[in-house]
Chain A
Amino acid sequence: MKFLALFLGALAILSLAYVGIVRLVDPHGDFGTGLFPVVELDLRMEKMRLFRAALATAAPDGLILGSSRAMKVRPRTFEAETGHRFFNFAVDTARAEDYLAIYRWVRQQGAPMKLVVIGLDVEALHDDDRPEAALLRNDALMATLGEGSLRAPGLLAPFRKFSGARAVQKYKATFTIEYLTDGFRSINLLLRPRSRPLPIMEFEPDGYLRYRRYEMERAAGKFRFDRDLERCLTKSLSRFDNMTQLSRRRRVYLRQMVDEARADGARVIVWITSLHPLTARYLEAHTGYEALLEATREYEQVLASSDGVAAYDFSRPETYQGTASGWYDCLHIDETNADRVVAALGQELR
Chain B
Amino acid sequence: MVFNSNVFLLAFLPIVFTAFWLARTKQQRYVILTVSGYVFYGWWDWRFCFLLLFSSVVSFTAGIMIDRAPSQAQRRAWMIAAVAIDLTLLGFFKYYNFAAGNLAKLAPGLAPPLLHIVLPIGISFYTFHTISYIVDVTEGRVQATHNVFEYLAYVSLFSQLVAGPIIRFREIEEDLEGIDGPPREDHMARGIAFFVVGLVKKAVIADSIASWIDPMLGAYPSLSTAGAWFSALGYALQVYYDFSGYSDMAVGLGFMFGLRIPQNFNAPYRAVGIGDFWRRWHMSLSSWLRDYVYIPLGGSRRGEARTYFNLVFTMVLCGLWHGANWTFIVFGAYHGFFLAVGRMARPAFALVPDVLKRVVTFLLVVFSFVIFRSSDLSMAADWGRKMFGIGAGSGVVAPSLIVWVVVGLVLVNVVPETWHINFPTRLRWVPVYATSFLIAYLFVNQAQTVFLYYQF
Determine the distance from Cα of A10 to Cα of B437 in the docked complex, in whole angstroms: 11
Cross-interface CB contact of A229 among B185, B192, B222, B438, cutoff 8 Å: B222
Which residue of A is nearest B204, CB measured? A177
Given contacts A230-B395, A233-B218, contact A15 B438 (CB under 8 A): yes
**Interface SS of chain B: helix, strand, loop or mixed?**
helix
Q: Which residues of A contact B216 (CB under 8 A)?
A: 230
> When the two chains form their complex, are residues B445 and A176 in contact, meaning their CB atoms are under 8 A apart?
yes
| Most interface-central of A3, A7, A14, A237 (chain B CB within 10 A) | A3
Confirm or deny: A203 has a beta carbon within 8 angstroms of a beta carbon on chain B. no
Confirm or deny: B219 has a beta carbon within 8 angstroms of a beta carbon on chain A. yes
Q: Which residues of B contact A154 (CB under 8 A)?
A: 6
Confirm or deny: B416 has a beta carbon within 8 angstroms of a beta carbon on chain A. no
> When the two chains form their complex, are residues A6 and B430 in contact, meaning their CB atoms are under 8 A apart?
yes
Which residue of A is nearest B433, CB measured? A7
Given contacts A11-B438, A227-B396, contact A3 B427 (CB under 8 A): yes
Cross-interface CB contact of A175 among B189, B396, B441, cutoff 8 Å: B441
Min distance, Cβ A149 to any Cβ of chain B, angstroms: 23
Determine the distance from Cα of A237 to Cα of B445 in the docked complex, in whole angstroms: 21
Determine the distance from Cα of A215 to Cα of B219 in the docked complex, in whole angstroms: 27
User: Could you mark each residue 143-163 of chain A with 1 if its beta carbon is under 8 Å from any beta carbon of chain B, else 0?
Assistant: 000000000001100000000
Which residue of B is nearest A8, CB measured? B434
> When the two chains form their complex, are residues B218 and A234 in contact, meaning their CB atoms are under 8 A apart?
yes
Given contacts A14-B435, A176-B446, contact A3 B185 (CB under 8 A): yes
Q: In A1-46, which residues have CB < 8 Å from any B CB?
A: 1-4, 6-7, 10-11, 14-15, 18
User: Could you mark each residue 292-305 of chain B with 1 if its beta carbon is under 8 Å from any beta carbon of chain A, else 0?
Assistant: 00000000000000
Interface bin, chain B: 20 to 34
Confirm or deny: B117 has a beta carbon within 8 angstroms of a beta carbon on chain A. no
> When the two chains form their complex, are residues A172 and B219 in contact, meaning their CB atoms are under 8 A apart?
no
> When the two chains form their complex, are residues B434 and A10 in contact, meaning their CB atoms are under 8 A apart?
yes
Which residue of B is nearest A282, CB measured? B219
Q: In B177-229, which residues have CB < 8 Å from any A CB?
A: 183, 185, 188-189, 192, 214-216, 218-219, 222
| Most interface-central of A2, A11, A18, A179 (chain B CB within 10 A) | A11
User: Could you mark each residue 388-402 of chain B with 1 if its beta carbon is under 8 Å from any beta carbon of chain A, else 0?
Assistant: 000000011000000
Given contacts A10-B434, A177-B446, A227-B396, contact A237 B192 (CB under 8 A): no
> When the two chains form their complex, are residues B438 and A14 in contact, meaning their CB atoms are under 8 A apart?
yes
| Most interface-central of A15, A155, A175, A286 (chain B CB within 10 A) | A175
Q: Which residues of A contact B431 (CB under 8 A)?
A: 10, 14
Q: Which residues of A contact B183 (CB under 8 A)?
A: 1
Cross-interface CB contact of A230 among B21, B215, B425, B430, cutoff 8 Å: B215
> When the two chains form their complex, are residues A10 and B430 in contact, meaning their CB atoms are under 8 A apart?
yes
Q: In B132-170, which residues have CB < 8 Å from any A CB?
A: none
> When the two chains form their complex, are residues A233 and B433 in contact, meaning their CB atoms are under 8 A apart?
no
Confirm or deny: A248 has a beta carbon within 8 angstroms of a beta carbon on chain B. no
> When the two chains form their complex, are residues A14 and B434 in contact, meaning their CB atoms are under 8 A apart?
yes
Determine the distance from Cα of A233 to Cα of B425 in the docked complex, in whole angstroms: 46
Which residue of A is nearest B213, CB measured? A230
> When the two chains form their complex, are residues B188 and A1 in contact, meaning their CB atoms are under 8 A apart?
yes
Given contacts A3-B425, A176-B442, A177-B443, contact A11 B189 (CB under 8 A): no
How many contacting A-B pairs (Cβ < 8 A)? Answer: 77
Min distance, Cβ A28 to any Cβ of chain B, angstroms: 14
| Most interface-central of A10, A155, A233 (chain B CB within 10 A) | A10
Q: In A194-229, which residues have CB < 8 Å from any B CB?
A: 227, 229
Min distance, Cβ A274 to any Cβ of chain B, angstroms: 20
Given contacts A230-B222, A234-B214, contact A3 B442 (CB under 8 A): no
Confirm or deny: A239 has a beta carbon within 8 angstroms of a beta carbon on chain B. no
Given contacts A230-B222, A237-B218, contact A11 B437 (CB under 8 A): yes
Min distance, Cβ A174 to any Cβ of chain B, angstroms: 9
Confirm or deny: A54 has a beta carbon within 8 angstroms of a beta carbon on chain B. no
Min distance, Cβ B260 to any Cβ of chain A, angstroms: 17
Given contacts A10-B434, A14-B438, A172-B445, contact A2 B185 (CB under 8 A): yes
Determine the distance from Cα of A234 to Cα of B217 in the docked complex, in whole angstroms: 10
Which residue of A is nearest B440, CB measured? A177
Confirm or deny: A231 has a beta carbon within 8 angstroms of a beta carbon on chain B. yes
Confirm or deny: B10 has a beta carbon within 8 angstroms of a beta carbon on chain A. yes
User: Could you mark each residue 162-187 of chain A with 1 if its beta carbon is under 8 Å from any beta carbon of chain B, else 0?
Assistant: 00000000001001111110000000
Min distance, Cβ A88 to any Cβ of chain B, angstroms: 29
> When the two chains form their complex, are residues A3 and B189 in contact, meaning their CB atoms are under 8 A apart?
yes
Q: Which residues of A contact B356 (CB under 8 A)?
A: none
Cross-interface CB contact of B192 among A7, A14, A179, cutoff 8 Å: A7
Q: Which residues of A contact B219 (CB under 8 A)?
A: 229-230, 233, 282
Min distance, Cβ B228 to any Cβ of chain A, angstroms: 13
Min distance, Cβ B383 to any Cβ of chain A, angstroms: 14
> When the two chains form their complex, are residues B215 and A234 in contact, meaning their CB atoms are under 8 A apart?
yes
Q: Which residues of B contact A227 (CB under 8 A)?
A: 396
Determine the distance from Cα of A178 to Cα of B443 in the docked complex, in whole angstroms: 8
Min distance, Cβ B403 to any Cβ of chain A, angstroms: 15
Determine the distance from Cα of A175 to Cα of B448 in the docked complex, in whole angstroms: 13
Known A11-B437, A286-B218; 9 more pairs at CB < 8 Å: A7-B437, A10-B433, A11-B438, A14-B435, A177-B442, A179-B442, A233-B215, A234-B218, A237-B218
10 contacts between A and B (CB under 8 A): A6-B427, A10-B430, A14-B438, A175-B445, A179-B442, A229-B222, A230-B219, A233-B218, A234-B215, A234-B218
* 10 residue pairs, one from A and one from B, having the closest CB atoms: A10-B434, A230-B215, A234-B215, A176-B446, A177-B442, A3-B189, A11-B434, A6-B430, A231-B215, A175-B445
